Amino acid sequence: MALPERTPTQSTNAEKRSVGRGLFRKCAGCGAVSTVEELEARFLVCGACSHHHPMPVEDWTRLLLDGAELELWDEHIAPTDPLAFDDGKPYPERLARAQRNTGLTEAIRIGRGRLDGYRIAFGCFAFGFMGGSMGSVVGERMTRLFERAALERLPVVLLHSSGGARMQEGILSLMQMAKSVAALGRFRATKKPYVSVLLYPTTGGVAASTALLGDVNIAEPNALIGFAGPRVIENTLRTTLPEGFQQPEFLVAHGMIDAIVPRLALKQSLATLLSHLVGRAA
């Protein structure tokens, strides 16, 4: 069957829709349009309003670690399907899709690197991988991050960005809260610092476990930090929440976090912290 030819109007409209696709990006904060190159050069911070857009693990490694080098730990630990969970799509299919889309094996990457010369154990959640949800493998990697840091007597820098526990693994995912916090408790015996960085969003079981237990807790501007979402809390408690609830400024004012640090100043701020908490770089 022959396809109908496009009229000149149809052709022009299609070309208009395609022009600039992938070349420009609109800011989610102010609506300003930047080229992708300009935004990436600023590590996805808007040049007009300083809105911080979510950033993939690879860019965090490039921003914070010397030479963008991270010696990966425990990439061989792979998620399985212990509950044969199916919510309309089998869990293994969701995992495979997340792995294809992100190029990651799970929702967290851990390893050893250097930050301004300081040897650190580094971890970073990937919100793009099933909402950064914490399943058995994420919990195991977090646990091993603290355990290996304890063995090597390294400070820990862990970047959190998660929607919480992974429902496809049920109680097995919830168990990771206790397991990772227990590992953190054992790590404390080394007297090495643990710095938690809270990104958009840090919620659910991750917020209720390691995210707010750092020796120093740092948040990015416009991060959302809390256990349940504001709408859920308001509907449950039948009350109106204070203005700015779960925003970094509110949390600093109420003693929940220690500082708000813009993304482009984060590496220097972390280096300054390490200089005070660890001493001179090895």
pLDDT of residue 22: 74
Same domain for 36 and 115, yes or no, is: no
- The per-residue pLDDT for 2 is 43
Kindly state whether residues 44 and 135 are assigned to the same domain. no
Asked if residue 174 and residue 193 are part of one domain, the reply reads yes
* Within-domain flag for 10: no
Look over the chain and give the mean of its residue pLDDT values, rounded to a whole number.
92
Identify the helix (H) or strand (E) that includes residue 158: strand 156-162
Can you tell me whether residue 26 is helix, strand or coil?
A: strand
Based on the fold, state whether residues 133 and 229 are members of the same structural domain: yes
Question: What are φ and ψ of residue 43, in 5° steps?
Answer: 50, 45
Q: Tell me if 14 is assigned to some domain.
A: no
CA 176 to chain centre: 17
Other CB atoms within a 10 A radius of the CB of residue 209 amount to: 24
Which structural domain range is residue 161 located in? 54-277
Is position 73 within any domain? yes
pTM for this prediction: 0.90
pLDDT beyond 90 at 107 = yes
**Within-domain flag for 62:** yes
Each residue's pLDDT tens digit, 177-228: 999 999 999 999 999 999 999 999 999 999 999 999 999 999 999 999 999 9
Is the residue at 60 inside a domain?
yes
- Find, among 33, 59, 60, 64, the residue nearest to 47 by Cα: 33
Q: How confident is the model at residue 20 (pLDDT cuts 50, 70, 90)?
A: low
Kindly indicate the confidence band of residue 231, based on its pLDDT and cuts at 50, 70 and 90.
Answer: confident
pLDDT higher than 60, residue 73: yes
Give me the percent of the chain exceeding a pLDDT of 70: 92
Record the tokens describing residue 171, joined without a space: 């109680």
> Do 45 and 174 share a domain, yes or no?
no
If asked whether residues 160 and 46 sit together in one domain, one would say: no
Residues 227 and 245 in one domain: yes
Two tokens at 177? 């809260």
CA quadruple 87, 89, 90, 96: dihedral positive or negative? Answer: negative
Q: What mean pLDDT comes out for the span 26-50?
A: 95
pLDDT higher than 50, residue 14: no
**What is the rounded average pLDDT of the residues 158-177?**
97
| Cα separations in angstroms, 211 against 133, 158, 192, 219 | 13, 8, 17, 10
CA-CA distance, 196 to 215, in Å (whole number)?
A: 8
Domain count, the chain: 2
Position 4 scores a pLDDT of 41
Q: Is the pLDDT of residue 117 over 90?
A: yes
Task: Tell me the residue length of the chain.
Answer: 282
Place of tokens 């149809």: 10
What is residue 198's predicted lDDT score, i.e. its pLDDT? 98
User: Measuring CA to CA, which residue among 169, 14, 15 is closest to residue 79?
Assistant: 169
Shared domain for 34 and 161, answered yes or no, is no
Q: Are residues 23 and 59 in the same domain?
A: no
User: Are residues 164 and 181 located together in one domain of the fold?
Assistant: yes
Residue 106 shares a structural domain with residue 165: yes
Q: Sorting pLDDT into bands at 50, 70 and 90, what band is 279?
A: confident
| H-helix or E-strand spanning residue 123 | strand 118-125
Considering Cα of 143, then 146, then 149, then 151, what sign does the dihedral take?
A: negative
Provide the CATH number for the domain around residue 130.
Answer: 3.90.226.10
